[in-house]
Structure 1
Amino acid sequence: MTLQRPKLSFWFDFGSTYSYLTAMRIETVARDRGLDLDWRPFLLGPIFNRQGWSTSPFNLYPAKGRYMWRDMERLCEEAGLPLVQPDPFPQNGLIAARIAHANRRAEWVGAFVRAVFMAEFGEGRDISDPALLAGLLLDLGADARACLAEADSIEVKIGLRAAVAEAETLGIFGAPSIVTEDGELYWGNDRLEDAVEWALRIVT
């Protein structure tokens, strides 16, 4: 009898600082603990808009924003990750999200997600630039031209919008969010280990 491998769904927004921290380690954590990983890029903007927010709450509430950037400095130093505050913040991650959504089953999707986050928060580069994304895809051996064309297709645009609607149905209100197969929701980089333990616990 083959035991079922538990699965985690990793919901992330490329503009999210704490998603950067989780994205850089979640694939390794999942592999080491014997879990399958479902990459779920989505957009926080529409969810924020429905709450009356026109931008990140870290911009709307300056004290919260100052704390977040200092917290990121501490956490990135601890993790050995570079940190550069991108300008503007948050970055426009729409094209990157479409690419990741369309290729979320590809073997290279994890490497692509990490490369985008590193370019953004590790180097302060503009991830809305198609040329930057094309270069990252080429570095991974992916067909950059085909990926960019697919990202502009109506099917992928509709698919990403549906992902946002699904996120809301799951109760997701921020990123990173990790959802186990029984629908348990964990929000934040610091909840990854808790999500892993729950996912392992529910497997029969």
Structure 2
Amino acid sequence: MPNRPVLDFWYEFASPYSCLSALRIEKLAEEAGVTLRWRPFLLGPIFAAQGWNTSPFALYPSKGRYMWRDTARRGRRQGVAIVKPENFPQNSLTAARLALAGRDGGWTPAFSKALFQAHFCEGRNMAEEAVLSAALKEAGSDPNVAIPLSRSEEVKGRLRAEIEYAKSIGIFGAPFFVAGDGELFWGDDRLEEALEWATEGR
């Protein structure tokens, strides 16, 4: 029996488009027979290399206004209410480390979806430990174990390595989908195309 095709799902917790993808990608991947690899990372260092000190959606007001309207429209189509958090973008460092720490325990997808919902559907602050703890519990993880683990040098180093690898393959935003042959797809609106490529190739 041939191996299932694989799709890497690169996402940033401060990205509303990543949220939209995270909330629908599992069902679509399963229907397509594709194995997902959830790859949380940080866009901050990638933006900094381009001379930006924050999200382009914050730097350029007209782009930001369009993005919030666009994500609201896209969310409504999939039954998701997207809200703008009080502060945007918020610090996603701890969230990314926790998601990486969850790989070994298998709760990365559930934690990621729970935190995205808290942040972009309920407007909660994803940097607050109470919000992170609630998402961990929803994913079946013990915050008293997961949070200290996320502060370990091993997990910190893992995140740094992921960011460097993302840079090396040309990732510049989120979400990004990378097929097994290295083909890159950027944006929530490219998810279906990425899954099709993963299964059928060029």
Q: Same fold (TM over 0.5)?
A: yes
Is the Cα–Cα contact under 8 Å of residues 114 and 138 in structure 2 kept in the other structure? no
Query: What displacement does 1:82 show?
Result: 1.5
Q: Is the 8 A contact 2:114 2:139 kept in 1?
A: no
Q: Is the deviation greater in 173-182 or in 106-115?
A: 106-115
Q: Paired residue for 1:69?
A: 68
In structure 1, list runs of 5 or more residues that go unmatched: none
Q: Which residue of 1 aligns with 2:23?
A: 24
Percent identity of paired positions between Structure 1 and Structure 2: 51
Secondary structure at the residue paired with 2:73? helix
After superposition, residues 166-177 of structure 1 pair within 5 angstroms as 166-177=165-176
Cα distance in 2, alignment partners of residues 188 and 58 from structure 1: 14
Amino acid at match of 2:39: R
Q: 2:14 matched to which residue of 1? A: 15
C-alpha displacement of 1:153: 0.5
Q: Which residue of 2 aligns with 1:164?
A: 163
Which residue of structure 1 aligns with residue 88 of structure 2? 89
Q: TM-score, normalised by structure 1?
A: 0.95
Asked whether the 8 Å contact 1:86–1:125 carries over to 2, the reply is yes
CA offsets 1:123-152 (integer angstroms, 9 cap, x no match)? 000110112211221233212111101100
Aligned counterparts, 1:1-204, within 5 A:
2-202=1-201
Higher mean C-alpha deviation, range 6-15 or range 27-36: 27-36
Tell me the distance in 2 between the aligned counterparts of 1:53 and 1:10.
24
Does the 8 A contact of 1:95 with 1:130 survive in 2?
no
Q: For 2:29 and 2:166, how far apart are their aligned partners in 1?
A: 21
Secondary structure of the corresponding residue to residue 136 of structure 1: helix
Q: Give the AA of the match of 1:19.
A: S
Extract structure 1 runs of 4+ deviating beyond 2 A: 104-108
Report the alpha carbon displacement of residue 105 of structure 1 after superposing the two structures with TM. 4.8
Gaps of at least 5 residues in structure 2 are: none
The question of whether the paired residues in 1 share the 8 Å contact of 2:5 and 2:33 is answered with yes
> For each residue in 1:50-90, what CA deviation from the matched residue of structure 2 results, as whole angstroms up to 9, or x when unmatched?
10001110111111111111111111111110121012101
Which whole-Å CA distance do the structure 2 matches of 1:31 and 1:114 have between them?
16
Q: How well do the aligned residues superpose, as a CA RMSD in angstroms?
A: 1.3
Deviation at 1:108, TM superposition (A): 2.5
Q: Which moved more, 1:32-41 or 1:105-114?
A: 105-114
SS at match of 1:39: strand
**Is the partner of 1:114 in helix, strand or coil?**
helix
SS of match in other structure, 2:94: helix
Q: Is the 8 A contact 1:119 1:127 kept in 2?
A: yes
Q: Is contact 1:38-1:104 (8 Å) kept? A: no
Which amino acid in the other structure matches residue 114 of structure 2?
A: A
